[in-house]
Structure formats: C-alpha cells, structure tokens
Amino acid sequence: MEVTGQPVIEPTRISHVDGENFSGRSAYLQSLIKSADDESSRLPSGVMVGSMTASYISGLAPTVADEIALHISGINGDYEHRLRQLLSDFSFERHSRENPFNLSGGEQALLIIICALLLEPKQLAIDTTLEQLNSTWRTPLLAALSDPVFYATNISIADNRFAEYSLKARTYRPHRHTTAGDENFSSIICPPDIPSATVAKNLVLDNLSFGYTKKQPLLQGMSYEFEAGSIYHISGMNGAGKSTFSKVLAGVLRPSSGNIYMGNSLYHAYRFPGKAVGYSFQNPDEQLFSNTIREEIIPKALLKANKNTAFAERVMSAFGLSRLAHKHPSEMPFVIRKRIALAATIANEREWYIFDEPTIGQDQRNIAETAKLIKLLAQNGKGIILVSHSEQFIASFEHVKTVALKNGGIN
C-alpha cells in the first residue's frame, strides 16, 4: 500500500518513508517528530536516530550499561524486559563495561535504536541507521520492532536498502521538502574512463595480528594474498574487526606482530599511512580536515608533488562536487560528506583502495554509479577491498571475492 502526502500513522504500524537523496525524507521524519510533541508528557514524544551513530550517544555515560540505564523510562516493565532480552540475544553483555564510543558503527547503531525505544516515544524515526547492521543482527531487530509490546510507539524508517529487508510496512512518499542549497547537489556520474598512473602489486599478509590491548588480540595470525586488479569483500558480524583490519592495512594502526608485503617487498604501512593503501573511513568526519572540499580532494601536498591533478579533478567531478569545491566539508549534509571522503581517497591515487561502507546514505542511483566507478578502478589495475553489509551492492560485482572475518582470523 502506498500513500502520498501526510500519513495517518496507526499504533504498532511500521512505515517506510521512500524517496531518493534530497527528496525530503529526512525533513519529513523531522516533521513527524515535531508533530508528536506533547508538552504534558515527561517522556519524549518523538525520537530520531540517523547515520552518524556516535552523534546519538548521550556522552553522559562512561559505559554501555550506564548508557542503557540512562534511557530506561521506568514506566513499562515489558518494554525494558523485551529490549534487555534482545541485547542478550546479541551477546551485548560483553560490551557492558565498554565506552559506547569505542563500539563499531554497527554496534552503535543497535545501541542507539534500543536506547531510543527505552524512552518509550510515541514516534521513533530511523534515518538510514539500519544500513550499518549485518543481516544476522538486522533481521531479529526488525522482528523486535514489530513486537506488540511496542504498541505505543509508531516507527518510521527511511533507508536506501529497505528492499533488502524482510519487513512488512506501509510505504509513504512525502511531498518534497526543499532546503537552501539542495539544487547544488548533483548525482554521482561515473566517467567512461579515469586514466591512472600506477598499477597495484599484490598485497600479502604474513601471520598478521593486532590488538588494542596485549591481553585481548582482535586479529590473530592472518595470512592471505590479495591479488591486484581484483575486488574483495570483507564480510563478518558487527564488531568482528572489519574496520580495524582495514586500518591496519592502510597504516592507521600498527600491527602487533606479523608483516605486510607489497609484491615481494616488505611494507611497513604504519610508517607511511595511506601511501600505498588508501582508506575511506566508515564515518567521513574521521577523515575530513580541510577548509574546503577542493583542498580535501586536491591537497597542497598533491599540488607540490606535481602529481596527477587532472585525475583528482575528474574524480571530484564524478562525485558531483565541482560546483561545491569552495564550500567547507562540515557545511555539507552527511550524504555529501560521505562522497567527499570517497573522492578524497580515490583522488590521492594509490595502488589499493579500501572502502568502508561506501554506500551509507546513498540512494540506489548513486550506489549504482559508485559500483561502476569501483569496477573502473579495478579494470585500471587497482586493488579494491570493500566493507559492506549491503547484499545488493556486493552482488553488483560479477567477480567479487569474499573474505570472511571470524574469531579474529580469515575464513
């Protein structure tokens, strides 16, 4: 069933807010939250969570257990019991003493949705948060959202991967909400070719290990050879270490033991972060530091080195950022900041690229163009490593090789 305009949300109903990027989905969700406002209630009438999971953590609680306790309303015991049961199903007790900001993006997504439910709001809006969850977690969470115990909470979801989810919901297409500057946001368009100056060598791991503490290694004894010109998909549960693994390969983190080889040569990635392996972070705000989009994509170091700036210009244009080049990255919405981070990684031409959840926040048209661009890079001899929970996105690559992380090793 599809309805246009302002919906009448029924209790226990879940609605899907459909539309492309900048079609007004987020503004519509915000309007639902505002319309649910009830000054007579001591509880929040409307709660919204989005892609930037860390932004929805209170910052007031030092541990996950304290964060959860902070959100318990204390009115409906069935609510609390059902959500604690859900956390137990996900073995979340092992994170109880951790700082919420140290969780993976997917773990934070689960935490903020459950904390939002614990507030017993009349309206819960979920804006592309589910895109960071693996299917093993996402399916039971969506089933839980349909639980009759949450009869008082209306749930509205805007998500670019909704077609991948087995969830019955009413679909609404809101009237477009236009905000200043929206007309400047172009779609991603993959060019016919992007000539590159370098070709990758094989990336070889030899008994590689890493741990944030000596007593608890997260990655152990990894040996594997990634072949240049190929596209790899790193799969695994939320918290399996996919992003950590990517940061070790890119040199952001130093391995505890073992070696990395680029071809036949020993490569100390941590001494030269990003020199041979470019890494686009899952959270773009961890990557963007320049005052303008142009400086982010074509930094002064690239200009001084007289590198292939024509390549960088073409990448910036492909991501629809040329007209925004003078803008500060922080002025841009999340969808555009994600594109800036991707473009900046590709533009500083490297042998290997690691893209951590590259399609978060992007609609289907832009996801398809991103896939074309990645294929083009591989055809030009680059090595590609993808971290993504989107089954449809990974399926769009005909010859992708899946590498599963489990129990600290490669399976």
Q: Which residue segments constitute the domains of the chain, with CATH numbers given?
A: 2-179 (3.40.50.300), 203-410 (3.40.50.300)
| Segment 371-396, tens digit of pLDDT | 999 999 999 999 999 999 999 999 99
- Residue 381 to residues 157, 306, 376: CA-CA distances in angstroms? 39, 22, 9
What's the rounded mean pLDDT across residues 292-307?
A: 79
Lowest mean per-residue pLDDT among 81-90, 154-163, 298-307 = 298-307
- Residue 22 to residues 127, 176, 177, 234, 336: CA-CA distances in angstroms? 13, 8, 8, 30, 11
**Token duo for residue 175:** 């009237």
| Segment 55-82, tens digit of pLDDT | 999 999 999 999 999 988 766 777 788 8
Residue 260 has pLDDT above 60, yes or no: yes
Question: What pTM value is reported for the model?
Answer: 0.86
Fill in the amino acid letter for 155.
I
The CB density around residue 84, as the number of other CB atoms within 10 Å, is 16
- The whole-chain average pLDDT of the chain stands at 87
d(CA 82, CA 118): 10
Residue 269 has pLDDT above 60, yes or no: yes
Residue 219 has pLDDT above 60, yes or no: yes
Q: Would you state the pLDDT for residue 82?
A: 84
Q: Residues 59-67: contacts with CB within 8 Å, 24+ apart?
A: 61/100, 62/99, 63/96, 63/97, 63/98, 63/99, 63/100, 64/92, 64/95, 64/96, 64/97, 64/98, 64/99, 64/100, 64/103, 64/111, 65/96, 65/97, 67/100, 67/111, 67/115
Q: 384: closest CA among 233, 205, 244, 260?
A: 233
Which residues face 85 on adjacent strands? none
DSSP code for 350: -
Q: Would you state the pLDDT for residue 354?
A: 96
Sheet of strand 170-173: strand arrangement: 2-4, 170-173, 14-17, 154-158, 123-127, 46-49
Share of the chain above pLDDT 70, in %: 91
Strand (E) or helix (H) holding 245: helix 242-250
Fill in the amino acid letter for 176.
R
Q: Would you state the pLDDT for residue 180?
A: 46
Contact 251, 271 (CB under 8 A): yes
